[in-house]
Amino acid sequence: MKIGVIVFPGSNCDRDMYHVLTDVFKLDAEYFWHEKGLPKNIDAVILPGGFSYGDRLRSGAIAAHSPIIKDVKKMAEKGIPILGVCNGFQILVEAGLLPGALLKNTSLNFMCKWTSLIVENNKTPFTNKLKLHQKIPIPIANGEGRYYVDDETLKKLKKKNQIVFRYSEVVNGSSDRIAGVCNEDGNVVGMMPHPERAAESEINPIDNKPSSLIFESLLTTIGVKN
């Protein structure tokens, strides 16, 4: 069982993600540089946070055309679990794997703070160990984190159960307080907050268990744990 962590020029949460996967959850993970392909024996793919290509043009827009994205798209079609966190979420949106857009926060500030999520869909590969409407204390760290969808797309997201996480309060002006969404099949998930910064008690002053369950869900999905 191997998890691929994709590294783009400007990724800066790749090591945090790798640490959580390997040291905390004892998973076999490997970094993959964005110019390389992904091997076929990968069981899940994670696009970590950061500032790929220095957010030039707009967050995620250039990394979305990196060579490795072709393989990510193939894996998405096969149903392999794919998680994008923060800039990884922005890249999945810009690559067309998830709907919507991420705009500048209404405050115009880079927001780095603890917030709280509500689980809206616990059927995805990354949320199946969580309870519906469970709260997750978790940090955000972004400047372009305001998720936007038009009314028509929002209706479709609700109908197809594609809203995975909502903020428990208005944080940055996101449509319908959306913090994370999935594709129609549910195997591709994107979220702005950082579960890899909240899954250990040493760095989570509130409760690390809910964020741990995001990774425990993945373990269950790929058959490492029941």
Residues that bind another protein (CB under 8 A): 57-58, 61, 64-65, 93-94, 96, 99-101, 103-108, 148-150, 153, 173
Beta carbon of residue 203, minimum distance to another protein (angstroms, whole number): 31
Instruction: Name which of 152 and 202 has its Cβ closer to another protein.
Output: 152
Beta carbon of residue 95, minimum distance to another protein (angstroms, whole number): 9
Catalytic position from the list 86, 94, 144, 216:
86
For 146, the token pair is: 């305001």
**Active-site annotation holds for 196:** yes
Q: What is the helix (H) or strand (E) element at residue 155, kind and residue range?
A: helix 151-159
Beta carbon of residue 199, minimum distance to another protein (angstroms, whole number): 31
Instruction: Name which of 172 and 211 has its Cβ closer to another protein.
Output: 172
Instruction: Name which of 64 and 86 has its Cβ closer to another protein.
Output: 64
Nearest to 93 by CA among 14, 157, 170, 136: 157
Catalytic position from the list 13, 120, 194, 216:
194
In whole angstroms, give the CA distance from residue 124 to residue 217: 8
**Active-site annotation holds for 182:** no
User: CB under 8 Å to 136, separation ≥6 — which residues?
Assistant: 116, 117, 118, 119, 130, 165, 193, 195, 198, 210, 211, 214
For the chain, strand residue ranges (E) read: 2-7, 28-33, 44-47, 82-85, 101-103, 111-119, 135-142, 146-148, 163-167, 178-182, 188-191
What Å distances lie between residue 155 and 103, 147, 169, 175, 188, CA to CA?
20, 15, 20, 11, 19
Residue corresponding to tokens 């890249």:
91
Pairing type for strands 44-47 and 2-7 reads: parallel
Beta carbon of residue 101, minimum distance to another protein (angstroms, whole number): 4
Beta carbon of residue 149, minimum distance to another protein (angstroms, whole number): 7
Nearest to 218 by CA among 84, 60, 86, 83: 83
Catalytic position from the list 94, 120, 144, 196:
196
Instruction: Name which of 108 and 170 has its Cβ closer to another protein.
Output: 108
Q: Are 92 and 82 in contact (CB under 8 A)?
A: yes
Instruction: Name which of 109 and 201 has its Cβ closer to another protein.
Output: 109
Active site (catalytic) residues: 86, 194, 196
